[in-house]
Structure 1
């Protein structure tokens, strides 16, 4: 069973061959995903999921391209799907913040203690953001400035503003995961 480390000519893979495939590609795929996401933990997860998917479906594939090309395309697609999903979540959280829905509790579920506790958790989570990221996020969400306006005020690019907002919302989502879930259940 001779094949080079970068690719396979066939897909009759045993465990040792898959381990070689994993060791050869995992780090490279992680760095490739990180180019899109700028989040090493999510990048590792996507690289791992892609390799796991390939292993689980190994008997059903017939490759017209190389395994390496297939893996990179799969990682790229997963990254694009992740980014799309994040945008939807970001828009929802932004909508909630912009319309001050985080401060409101539906009448049938009013609990001032939980409302105050949740507001404190959100404020604490925002305070843990890196300084520039926090500043951009607050300008966007609390001052209602457009990305272009923020970029002009801070003398940074609009892409940098978007990246700061994405990072902020992702960090908030991670630290407030359960709280966001509760909010979604309360408002839907």
Structure 2
């Protein structure tokens, strides 16, 4: 059966799998190509679009679509791709930082990490280690390393002393080094 956009939305909200399947068949491939324009990685693009469709199905009863269904899907995919790019940028900055500061100093490890699997695993491990830092410590670390603020600028922004910033950075670096050394030892 052929559905128009409004029928697909109504039937999908009513949990009609045929309508959702029609939606998927029509939009999956074009959305993968659209995502690939951002990500330049076809497998990651397919995974991203599949995640969008999973989200759409899981939230089918509460989603409000105020534009065309096609435009809505493209916007969701675009936002998801931009989030992936942002996360990769942060991961790359941290890996660069690790190399510059000697947290990891054997470049042979990073030859292996260029493999996509290891890069993804390292990125997840870095994000996990950063997220486990105490809230204030995490905030100070991100301001220093990702926004490239000086200790003095951070102290002024957060209304704390530069010495507190320095102490919190010491704590953050020690915890991150411990967490990431375990990861690197496990893989290598």
- TM-score bracket, normalised by the shorter chain, equals 0.5 to 0.7
In the alignment of these two chains, the number of paired residues is 130
Gaps of 5+ in 1: 104-115, 129-169
Pairs within 5 Å for 1:1-188: 3-4=3-4, 7-9=5-7, 10-13=9-12, 14-103=16-105, 120-126=108-114, 173-174=119-120, 184=176, 186=178
* Cα shift at 1:94: 0.6
Q: Is the 8 A contact 2:103 2:177 kept in 1?
A: no
CA–CA distance in structure 1, aligned partners of residues 67 and 125 of structure 2? 44
Query: After TM superposition, which residue ranges in structure 1, 4 or more long, deviate above 2 angstroms?
Result: 1-4, 7-12, 119-126, 174-185
After TM superposition, the structure 1 stretch with the greater mean CA deviation from structure 2, 8-17 or 47-56, is 8-17
Q: Is the 8 A contact 1:11 1:61 kept in 2?
A: no
Q: Higher RCO, 1 or 2 (CA under 8 Å, sep at least 6)?
A: 1
- The 1:174–1:64 alpha-carbon spacing in structure 2 relative to 1, beyond 3 Å, is closer
More helix by share: 2
Gaps of 5+ in 2: 130-174, 181-188
What is the TM-score normalised by the length of structure 2?
0.58
CA RMSD of aligned residues (A): 3.0
CA–CA distance in structure 2, aligned partners of residues 2 and 27 of structure 1? 18
What is the TM-score normalised by the length of structure 1?
0.58
Q: Is the 8 A contact 1:33 1:47 kept in 2?
A: yes
